[in-house]
Chains A and B, each alone.
Chain A
Amino acid sequence: MSITLPDPLTGGAQRLVPEQPLVRLEGISKIFAGRGKGAPTVTALDGIDLAVAPGSVLGIIGRSGAGKSTLIRLVNGLEKPSAGRVVVDGAEVSSLPERALRHARRSTGMIFQHFNLLSSRTAAQNVALPLEVAGYDRAAIRARVDEMLALVDLSDKRDRYPAELSGGQKQRVGIARALTTKPKVLLSDEATSALDPETTRSILSLLRRINREFNLTVVLITHEMSVVRAIAGEVAVIDRGRIVEQGDVFDVFTRPQAEVTRSFLAEESGRALPSYVADRLHPEPVDGGRAVVRIVFRGPHATDPVIAQLAREQGVDANILAGTVDEIAGRPFATLVVGVPGGEEALASTLAFLHQRGLDTEVLGHVA
C-alpha cells in the first residue's frame, strides 16, 4: 500500500507513486450462521485480500457456491464481513453506520443477473429511481435520465415497461440505472449470465466502452472465462471461499497455476484435447509412437514458425494434432498440440529447443 503525501518541494502530489487502489479488501472472511439451532456454520469467504486500481476491470471467476456473490456484496456493504476491512474510495464500508453507508452506496453502482427492474416503472422511471431516492429535483432527474438512456442507446424506449423490453434492453436499463448517480465503481453480478451469446457480447462491449470513456472501475463476477477474457484486465479465481489465483488476464490464461483455473480454461476453445487424441492417450511412452506435447506461444512468440524450424534444425517431423491462434487482452496467444516421433532423446531435444525459444511446453502423454 502506498500513500500519496504532498511533496514538500513541489507542493503537489504528482509524484510517480503507484496509484492507490479504489477498492481494497483486507483479510476478509465471512461466516454464515447455520439455519436452525445447532446447525453448522458455513464459511463463505476465508482470508481474502484484493485490491482494484481505479479505472481497471477486475473479473472474479468461480463456480457457483465459491463465494463470489458474497464477495461482490461486501464492496457495497450489502454484506458485512465477519473479519477484515473493506475500503472503497477511502471510506471503510465494512464499518460505516447504516445512514453513511446508504450515502456511500451512491458511489457504487450495481447490475444484476436478473436485471431487478421495477415492473411498475417505465425504463426512464427505473433509471430515475436512484436519483429520486437521493433527493434530486425533477429537472435534474429528467436531464440525467435522458443522458443515461442516450448512453445505453435506449432513448426510444424511455416510456416502455420492462415487460416490453428484451433481455439485453433490460440490462441496458439496469446499467443506466446503476450509472445515474455517477458512481466510481460498477459491480456486475453475473450481468450477462441470463443473456444469449450475441446479447452478452453487446452488453460487454457497452461495459468496456463505459469503462474507457468514464474511467469507471468495474468489478464483475462470472462463471464464464469468456466474459473475463472479453472485458477484464485482471482476474481473480475463487474456489471454496479462497482466492486461488490472481493476476493479469493474459498471464492467468496462458500460464494457469491452480487446478480450478485449468478446468475453467478447459471449457475455453483450444485448451481441451480433441477426443480423437484424448481417447488414445497413454501415460507411458509407446514403442514407435509419438509423444503428445502442448506448446503454448505467448505474446511475441505467437507467430514464430517453430514447426518449420524444428524440422529444419532438429530434424524432428512433428505433426499437428490440434491448435488455435487467438488474442487475449489484446495480445496474441496460441496453443499447438503436436506429436513428436523418435522416442525419449528426440523428445528431450525438442523440449529443450522449444524452451530456448521462450515457449511453454507440457507433455500430455503418448500415442501409438
Chain B
Amino acid sequence: MSPEIIRLIVQATGDTLLMVAVAAALGTFFGLPLGIFLATSGRGELLASPWANGALGAIVNATRSTPFIILVVAIIPFTRLIAGTSIGTTAAIVPLTVAATPFIARLVEGAIREVDPGLVEAARAFGASPLQIVLKVLVPEALPAIVLGLTLAVVSLLGFSAMVGAVGGGGLGDLGIRYGYQRFMPDVMAAVVVVLIVLVQAVQSLGDRLSRRLNRRVISRS
C-alpha cells in the first residue's frame, strides 16, 4: 500500500471516529432523557402522561423504521438548516444523531424498565418524589444496562457511518466503497474492514468493562 493510501485510511478513520463520537454524544444527550421519559410516563406510571408517551413513542418508532440511507436523504433540508450544508463529515453528523437518538431512547427505556419495581415502591414509601426516584433510584440502578446499551449504539453508529458517504460524509465506509470497490483495490477494502473490526472490538470491550465495573449486583473480585 502506498503512503498515499495509508494517509487516506488514517484520515478516514479520523472522520469516522469524529462522526460517531459526536453523534453518540448528541444521541445520548437527547436519547437518555427521552428514554427515561418513555419508561416512566405510561398510564399509571411515575410521571404518567400517556398522551405524550404515545406521541413520542410514535415518533421514535417512525424514525426507527425508516432505513438509514433513506433517512439521510429525506432529512437533507433539516441537515442544511442545522449544519449550513448537506455535504461533508460535519453535515453527516446530523442524520447520524437523528438515527441514534430514538435508538438510544429505546435502549435506555428497556434498561430502566428492568429495574425492580420493589425499589420504586420502597422509594415512594420513604417519601421520594417522582423526579428523585428517577435520578436517585432508576438511573443509578439501570446504569450498567444503560452503558451496555450505549455500547451497542456506538457499534451500530459505526455501521451507519459507512452509509453517509452517499452525502459526501467521508469516513471508512466511504473509502471502502470508492477505492476498494469502485477502483478495484481489494487491499484498501481489506484494510477498511480490519480497522472497523478493531474499532468495534475496542468499543465493545471498553463498554463491557465499564458496565461490569458499575454493576454491583454481582460481587466483584477487585
Taking Cβ atoms with an 8 Å cutoff, the residues of A that contact B are 76, 78, 102-106, 108-110, 112, 114, 116-121, 129-130, 132-134, 161-164, 177-178, 181, 187
Contacts and interface: CB of A to CB of B under 8 A. Distances in A.
Interface residues on B, range: 20 to 34
A129 B141 CA distance: 13
7 contacts: A78-B121, A110-B126, A118-B140, A119-B141, A119-B216, A120-B141, A163-B218
A112 B127 contact: no
Interface of B: 116, 118-119, 121-129, 132, 136-137, 140-141, 143, 214, 216-219
A121 B140 contact: yes
B122 A112 contact: yes
B216 A120 contact: yes
A117 B136 CA distance: 12
9 closest A-B pairs by beta carbon, nearest first, are A130-B126, A116-B122, A105-B127, A110-B125, A116-B118, A161-B216, A120-B140, A102-B127, A119-B217
Nearest to B120: A116
A159 to B, nearest CB: 12
Nearest to A119: B217
A117 B126 CA distance: 12
Contacts of A134: 127
B213 to A, nearest CB: 12
Contacts of B214: 120
Given A116-B122, A119-B217, A130-B126, 4 more contacts: A78-B125, A102-B129, A110-B126, A116-B121
A177 B218 CA distance: 22
A120 B127 contact: no
Given A119-B141, A163-B218, A78 B124 contact: yes
Nearest to A121: B140
Chain A interface main SS type: mixed
Contacts of B127: 102-106, 130, 133-134, 181
A118 B126 contact: no
A76 B123 CA distance: 12
A104 B126 CA distance: 9
A117 B218 CA distance: 14
B215 to A, nearest CB: 8
B136 A76 contact: no
Given A116-B119, A118-B140, A120-B143, A105 B125 contact: yes
Nearest to B216: A161
Contacts of A118: 119, 137, 140-141
A118 B215 CA distance: 11
Given A118-B119, A120-B140, A120-B214, A108 B219 contact: no
Given A102-B128, A118-B137, A118-B141, A110 B122 contact: yes
Nearest to B122: A116
Given A120-B140, A120-B143, A163-B219, A133 B126 contact: yes
Contacts of B136: 129, 132-133
Nearest to A174: B122
Contacts of A121: 140, 216
B125 A108 contact: yes
Nearest to B117: A116
B146 to A, nearest CB: 12
Contacts of B137: 118
A118 B123 CA distance: 10
Contacts of A114: 116, 118
A170 to B, nearest CB: 12
A124 to B, nearest CB: 14
Contacts of B140: 118, 120-121
Contacts of B216: 119-121, 161-163
A110 B119 CA distance: 12
A103 B218 CA distance: 34
A106 B126 CA distance: 6
